[in-house]
Structure 1
Amino acid sequence: MRVVFILSLLGLWCSFGFAQLPKDFRTEQIFLELGKTEWNPGDTLEVNGVVTCLAANRFLPYSNYLYIELLNSQDSVLVRQRVDCKKEGSFRARIPTERIYSGSYYLRSYTNLMRNFSSESFAYQPVYIGSKPSSLKSLDNDEVSCYIYPTAGVLCPNRIQEVTASFLNSQGEPLESLPVALLNEAGDTISSVKTSNSGFTVFHFIPLMGKRYSLSVNISGKDKRILLPFADDKKMKVQCSVNGNKLFYEVLNAKGRLDNTELYLFSRENGVCKIDKFGESGVVLLTNSPKIITLFLTDKNHQILSETSIVCKYQYPQYVDSLINEAQRTFSNDTVVLAGNRYESIRFVSDSDKWVSHAESDLLYLSDYNSPLPFPKKVFQKRTSSRFADLQAWMNTARFKRFELSEALLKDSAIYTHLPEENMLIIGKVMSIDDLVLRGGKVVAYNTRNALVYDAPVDKKGRFRMAVDDFEDGDTFFLQPVNVREQPVNAAIHFEDMTFPPAFHLIESGTNRIFSIDESGAKKGKFKDQYLPEVVVKAKYRREKPMTSAEFYGVNYVDHDHIERHNYQTLLDILRSMPGVRVLYNSDVKAEKRFSLQSTRGNSALNGSSLVLLVDGTRQDYEIESVLEMPALEIESVKLLKPWETLAYVHGALEGAIYVKTRFGNKKAAVSKGTYYTPMGLSVVKKGNIKQIGQRKDNCRMLVDVVDGTDIWSFEYPMTLNTK
């Protein structure tokens, strides 16, 4: 049997990142909900979830879209989807796994607003495709690890101090009810406790300078002793407690050195606040009562000297009991968004599935804090004060990760280089064929799937920013630059490529959120996002080339052979035979036009109008009746053009056009001046509540997640049922 004891001083451990919004540096958080984390190859991963913005006076996200990616263990993105989260932040996605080999993978999700901060704050969910190897299912208790964390990373002499210890087996699972004793230098017992179901113990004692203390534990019949660090009277340490909206703080080992320091606090509810004229101890009145608060003691350059975080107790709602009782009775998985922004999720998962996430941990804790230890998920089996004891024990080992304080204070609102996506946009720059900027005018865009039409002005630098309705992934737009005289111009459009954040390797997937990176030039274990280039993904776009269009006989194209075969006499006879064209006749002899031509596909998004009639590229606005009497034998072909195809010949044909090519007319084919562009669209899933019958199984767990405004709760209930 091998026992590994690890002493970690939090003062020597830190994480790197970016910052949030001006004053309170707000961002968004994502909860990825899966009914299971082990899937068969070829399965479609069913993902539900919710996006929040946990900040003062706000809960709903700013973003209307998020991104979900499936990555392999080498950090290659196998699937990337853009998903709608407009319904109170909730979303649903289906991730395909075709042609994906068995192995460990993970889902990653983020919004554009979240990209202003560390990628470690994104949502992560490990999954396994195929059957898990036995090494990932079974637990080997031959190796036990003990992690010791003095609060804020240091023991100060002659004051009550707190030490957190965690005991884990080789698979990172907590050792429960393990007796642990705190001993003084003479070997006398100061106190003795048992580890919680999360594997934590917390000791409070007064260390003396120069004395050595230790923890004693018996593992498999063998007594082991773990030494604690010596007390340090040189290093300053900040500690605090919270009661409602009052923060009580104390700076230990100050010894008159506070003039060279600054004190900051951060909570989502209050943002970053500087405590002016602080002393070695004091009380701060907070504007809003926080759930989690972090205190930073820094030097004048805002480099952190000491950091500590506190979990404030909050009440759980009574209606959760009825929700749980109903779930136990019906035994069905259920995810639903109710009126009042309440998101409820009930899942029944295998007792052996340790990778599933919880809303409370993902949204409240793991989005802002990182620890070398796995999050204690067993706290969700408790509804008493012992839950907060283990949560605080974990927070004693954690560090704030979302942004670097010094950078946030320096940049303030300049931190925000990525705006939240409220609309889907097409952004680009218009250049002439001579590489000159097109000044003024506009760009007209047609969605080739649904014929919706959009336009956006072109500024003096040739740039345009076009908001479009939600479109599906794979939709193609035809874009045509138009000058200030409302004439189509032959110009190139340079589209702004979408960029995506780099991926990092997730170590010990499913047990914690420690990252490493092997990029050249970046130090493993310590990195900042800005050291790495963003991944650039080019959308599909092309200039239209002269080519034969797809011709569907009798619907939108008729050639000369077809005309001769059917013995048509006039152009009017040909048009009446085409199902894609409707010929309307006005019997009023006083009417300006007796005939009008319309498409049977329906009107576009703009004002409805008749089809334009073109003969050898020339628009026929007058004498249409005489043109319709054109002998059929003089006609080479008739084609129904879609709106975006008409830009090669005419401007303003919003419903399309009929192009008549005569046998003796202009032989030169017109070339489209526009550009086809296929940006990244939405992955569409059927709307509505998601309700599936759960699979009955022995020894499962019922997981309940409730997101009700800024109140977020998760619960776990072990259940043993007969297999049916």
Structure 2
Amino acid sequence: MRLRVSGTTLLAVFVILLFGSFSALAPEPDFGGSVINYFQTIGKTPQEKLYLHLDKPYYGAGEEIWFRGYLLNAITHMDNSPSNYIYVELTDRGDSVLQRFKFRRDSLGFRGSIPLPADLPAGEYYLRGYTSWMQNTDPAFFYRHGLQIGNSIVTDILSEVTERPAPDNGGTLRIRFFNAAGGVHSGIKVSYDVSGKDLKTVTGQQTTDDKGVLTVQNLKLSPGNMRIAVKFEDETLDYSNTFNINNAPENEYAVSFFPEGGSLLNGITQHVAFKAQAATGFSLPVTGFVTNAQGDTLTSFATEHDGMGTLMLTPEAGQRYTAETRSEKGIVKRFPLPEVRSDGMGLQMAFRNGAIFYNVQKAAEAVWPDSLFLIAHLRGDIRLMLPLSAEKTSGKLSGDAFPDGIVHFLLADESGTPISERLLFVRHPDAVEWNVATDKPKYGKREPVRMEISLADLGGQPAEGEFSMSITDNHTVYPDSLGDNILSNILLTSDLKGYIENPGYYFNGPYTPAVQRHLDLVMLTHGWRRFRIENLTQTPQFEAKYFIEAGQAVSGQVKNAFGKGASDASIVAYSPDCFMMKRADENGRFLIDSIQFSDTVSLILQATTRKGGSGVDILVDPETFPEADRMPFPYGKDNLAGIGKYLANVRDKYYNSGGMRVIQLKEVIVEAKQKQRNFYATMAEKTITSDQVPVNMQSRLVTDYLSTVPGIRKLSEAKLSIRGSDIEPLILIDEVPYYDNDVLTRIYMNEVSSISIIKGGSASFFGIKGAGGVISIMRKDGSEPIADLPAPGVAFIKPLGCRTIADFYNPVYETPEQKAASSPDLRTTIYWNPSLRFDGTGKASVLFYTSDDPESYRINIEGVTKEGYVARYSADMEQ
């Protein structure tokens, strides 16, 4: 395992060595201390980075997305972040969050699944993941993953945009509506609204033609993202959808230029990187040449990889340089290069054969500062502070001092102001070795596969850490070798600004000179974003609006009859999972923390005065979530052609598992009886269900019926007591507590689903309020609301709770009957394990059964060692 050295230790080593060799150039102690303090302040502030390992690269409506979440320290990449909850959202290409779930860390880490509705329209979506603490930073640091989702279940109304608005077609939009059988939806009235950049929302209604096409004309808007919402205005068909498209002209593109070190320097031969990007957001190849103001051609250039490349230029002060480019389609454009500086300095860097080479370039008229330093940090962990001089402007550093990842080099003067910056990606040979072996070379249908996996460092010692594993069917799930994975995400895309095209390319195979060159082009054309350094001698400021979520919490304020904070008010929180009492502060503010509740449970908060009296109101702080943003990836890759077999499998599996056919018809109501659940019934001494109530009592008040139940005494028309107690019982109606028992005179037995009587030790769960026992009444679905609900001082809330963790179903075929079962095995994900555990010898054993198509599977293992080394294994299991 590669040795990991802390930044502070390494800095001390550098300072000792460099001060010994260049004592005359050593920085003032306060400067060095300020720089160290700067990075130590960053290190003391928790920095989090989230990555989700998904079981496969794309999905179909009606499926579940299985994931393992890796919440890491963004600086060290170790699995020691303090947050215990993550949020995962499914977002469309516009700005709508379709689903939001909260997951809690358990003994196996962050894991779970996200169900995709069967009627989810096919298209391009993305997952967004974050913690509460991560909301204190730019949302660009959230986890984002583009996701293709098909739909083979809803086939009665399908749609596609056949023509996008553009200047050359008069701003015409066309959408075709059809079905899977080849029919079209003609003569349908469709209402629409279209919005986009520089366009006021256009609304209207049109009727589809005989080919099922809706046509909207004369849409005049600037190129960019646009949104079209449509809805059928039909008596029988119920359909609505929103289309997010990019109407940018396909031939439009731009080329940006990035001088190494940041500026074009007078009289210095420099590398100038460039990137060509189409208006769609994807790269494109171009060729071109650079001319000066007199029209002289100075150099030519061509893109090398994903629209990126470099050229060499020796600029002169006072000159203006222009690049003339030509795309593959012959579109010629001209772009200006940055202005030339005559007083600047620049940093030239290279990483070759495990060594880092640096060189300071100075424009002809620039004055060498009194002190100059080369400073480097890796994700906020300082690794180098090297004094430079006019006599020592270049040198070589050992790459072993820098772990894998993006190293940020800065050239700074003694005031701490960066003069030039350069990003360099450092990558070493893999520090771990994988060995994956199966017990047999070939398998038949529904046979057990025993797999042995070992993980060791280069010294042969067992490697420990957190890992997850998926095995998919190669005949239906095509691996996305260029897409994001744990290596490209944690080491690259999560720390760079802008869209990185095909990030998986840089980590899928050997780190060849070509791959290293292409990755350096990414460094030259993308800016550092996680740590924006303005002055190294000034302590960075950080203000936290959101807190580390170690436990779930609910906060708010209790107010008295005068609308002011009720000092020292008492608050009681109820849920099926917990009971908790808290005191408000002198302003009536309260915080109920370390409370557990799931996403299916409501919470009941009840407040009283300091002495237990009523007459107070309780206000709960609303939950806040970050605003959804538009798809952070370019549009245009939502074509799911070629995965028809996969979607057919999804459809057949959905129906075989009991899924209902989805038909988009109006006024079709499917009713099913749902058993009413009384969460407190398990505590009850007695629970009476509606079918146990005599017919003659069905139309009577609850108090009338309860007075006939042994153990309950009627004190008055509205008051009851559970025998053995002179204190009135606590009344719960649909889990909401009421302290005015007069509410019972408004409930009749024909509304009641069940009544539970709780007394004795079980009632102690409710604290002093349950001293007289508890009567819990659950009403039937559809019951009329009770007047004056909720009760004063009571809040009935349903905050976003934790999603219940389900286990992935791995079928077992142990008996001949199981193996011969007629139900087809249509798995596309053959095996999913969110927590692959290695023993003390660095070995893990896996057992799974093949499906009905056992010919070729893909194995993907991702994770992080305890030292923070990111590791991945991906290979086919061929037969």
TM range (shorter): 0.5 to 0.7
1:256 to 367, 384, 388: 367
Is structure 2 residue 420 aligned with structure 1 residue 311? no
Counterpart-to-counterpart distance in 2, 1:328 and 1:301? 66
Look up the equivalent residue of 1:705 and give its one-letter code.
E
Number of residues of Structure 1 aligned to a counterpart in Structure 2: 594
Is structure 2 residue 504 aligned with structure 1 residue 377? yes
Counterpart-to-counterpart distance in 1, 2:483 and 2:78? 28
The answer (yes or no) to whether the contact 2:438–2:450 under 8 Å persists in 1 is: no
Deviation digits for residues 109-157 of structure 1 (CA, Å, limit 9, x no counterpart): 1111211111111111122333697999xxx999998765432343446
Cα gap change, 1:554/1:65 in structure 2, threshold over 3 Å: closer, same or farther? closer
Look up the equivalent residue of 1:293 and give its one-letter code.
V
Cα gap change, 1:95/1:301 in structure 2, threshold over 3 Å: closer, same or farther? farther
Question: Match for residue 60 of structure 1?
Answer: 80
2:540 match: secondary structure = helix
Cα gap change, 1:384/1:446 in structure 2, threshold over 3 Å: closer, same or farther? same
Question: Match for residue 467 of structure 2?
Answer: 343
What is the 5 A alignment of 1:637-652?
Answer: 640=756, 651-652=768-769
Q: Note the residue ranges of structure 1 that are not aligned, 5 or more in a row.
A: 1-18, 513-550, 579-609, 620-635, 661-668
Question: Match for residue 23 of structure 1?
Answer: 42
Question: Match for residue 421 of structure 1?
Answer: 549
1:59 match: secondary structure = coil
Question: Match for residue 476 of structure 1?
Answer: 602
- Displacement of 1:79 after TM fit? 1.0
CA RMSD of aligned residues (A): 6.0
1:94 to 114, 126, 135: 114
TM-score, structure 1 normalization: 0.64
Deviation digits for residues 549-602 of structure 1 (CA, Å, limit 9, x no counterpart): xx974589979955999xxxx999943799xxxxxxxxxxxxxxxxxxxxxxxx
Cα gap change, 1:83/1:417 in structure 2, threshold over 3 Å: closer, same or farther? same
Deviation digits for residues 355-384 of structure 1 (CA, Å, limit 9, x no counterpart): 842111222222221135525421223223
Question: Match for residue 150 of structure 1?
Answer: 259
Question: Match for residue 390 of structure 1?
Answer: 518
Counterpart-to-counterpart distance in 1, 2:855 and 2:298? 47
2:530 to 382, 394, 402: 402
Cα gap change, 1:659/1:163 in structure 2, threshold over 3 Å: closer, same or farther? closer
Counterpart-to-counterpart distance in 2, 1:98 and 1:304? 54
Look up the equivalent residue of 2:402 and give its one-letter code.
S
The answer (yes or no) to whether the contact 1:269–1:288 under 8 Å persists in 2 is: no
Look up the equivalent residue of 2:379 and give its one-letter code.
R
The answer (yes or no) to whether the contact 1:270–1:286 under 8 Å persists in 2 is: no
- Displacement of 1:49 after TM fit? 3.0
Question: Match for residue 693 of structure 1?
Answer: 830
What is the 5 A alignment of 1:41-440?
Answer: 41-56=61-76, 58-87=78-107, 89-130=109-150, 149-156=258-265, 161-164=270-273, 195=304, 201=309, 232-240=341-349, 250=360, 252-253=362-363, 255-256=366-367, 258=369, 265-268=376-379, 270=381, 281=393, 289-290=402-403, 291-296=405-410, 306-320=420-434, 322-323=435-436, 340-346=464-470, 348=472, 350-351=477-478, 356-371=483-498, 373-386=500-513, 387-406=515-534, 412=540, 414-440=542-568
Counterpart-to-counterpart distance in 2, 1:30 and 1:359? 10
Look up the equivalent residue of 2:504 and give its one-letter code.
K
Q: Percent identity?
A: 17
- Displacement of 1:214 after TM fit? 8.1
Cα gap change, 1:144/1:496 in structure 2, threshold over 3 Å: closer, same or farther? closer
The answer (yes or no) to whether the contact 1:182–1:215 under 8 Å persists in 2 is: yes
Question: Match for residue 594 of structure 1?
Answer: none
Q: 352-361 vs 142-151, which deviates more?
A: 142-151
Question: Match for residue 708 of structure 1?
Answer: 865
- Displacement of 1:435 after TM fit? 1.8
Q: 414-423 vs 113-122, which deviates more?
A: 414-423
- Displacement of 1:478 after TM fit? 2.2
1:67 match: secondary structure = strand
Cα gap change, 1:428/1:476 in structure 2, threshold over 3 Å: closer, same or farther? same
Cα gap change, 1:194/1:698 in structure 2, threshold over 3 Å: closer, same or farther? farther
Deviation digits for residues 506-545 of structure 1 (CA, Å, limit 9, x no counterpart): 2544799xxxxxxxxxxxxxxxxxxxxxxxxxxxxxxxxx
TM-score, structure 2 normalization: 0.54
2:591 to 465, 470, 493: 465
Deviation digits for residues 214-265 of structure 1 (CA, Å, limit 9, x no counterpart): 8999969999999977865444323446798999563633822647999764
Cα gap change, 1:221/1:445 in structure 2, threshold over 3 Å: closer, same or farther? closer
Look up the equivalent residue of 1:468 and give its one-letter code.
S
Counterpart-to-counterpart distance in 1, 2:429 and 2:688? 70
What is the 5 A alignment of 1:624-639?
Answer: none
The answer (yes or no) to whether the contact 1:351–1:699 under 8 Å persists in 2 is: no
1:500 to 613, 622, 625: 625
The answer (yes or no) to whether the contact 2:488–2:506 under 8 Å persists in 1 is: no
Look up the equivalent residue of 2:124 and give its one-letter code.
S
Cα gap change, 1:617/1:167 in structure 2, threshold over 3 Å: closer, same or farther? closer
Counterpart-to-counterpart distance in 1, 2:442 and 2:333? 47
1:400 match: secondary structure = coil
The answer (yes or no) to whether the contact 1:125–1:510 under 8 Å persists in 2 is: no
Counterpart-to-counterpart distance in 2, 1:388 and 1:104? 31
2:619 match: secondary structure = strand
Cα gap change, 1:459/1:269 in structure 2, threshold over 3 Å: closer, same or farther? same
Look up the equivalent residue of 2:464 and give its one-letter code.
G
- Displacement of 1:693 after TM fit? 0.7
2:134 match: secondary structure = helix
1:617 to 706, 720, 728: 728
Q: Note the residue ranges of structure 2 that are not aligned, 5 or more in a row.
A: 1-37, 152-158, 163-244, 456-462, 638-685, 714-720, 731-747, 778-788, 812-828, 832-850
What is the 5 A alignment of 1:33-48?
Answer: 33-48=53-68
Counterpart-to-counterpart distance in 2, 1:69 and 1:433? 40
Cα gap change, 1:333/1:229 in structure 2, threshold over 3 Å: closer, same or farther? farther
- Displacement of 1:419 after TM fit? 1.8
Look up the equivalent residue of 1:238 and give its one-letter code.
L
1:363 match: secondary structure = helix
- Displacement of 1:721 after TM fit? 7.5
The answer (yes or no) to whether the contact 2:619–2:795 under 8 Å persists in 1 is: no
- Displacement of 1:503 after TM fit? 2.0
- Displacement of 1:164 after TM fit? 3.8
The answer (yes or no) to whether the contact 2:260–2:347 under 8 Å persists in 1 is: no
Counterpart-to-counterpart distance in 1, 2:692 and 2:726? 14
Cα gap change, 1:656/1:58 in structure 2, threshold over 3 Å: closer, same or farther? farther
Look up the equivalent residue of 1:27 and give its one-letter code.
Q
Counterpart-to-counterpart distance in 2, 1:265 and 1:689? 48
Look up the equivalent residue of 1:250 and give its one-letter code.
V
The answer (yes or no) to whether the contact 1:294–1:307 under 8 Å persists in 2 is: yes
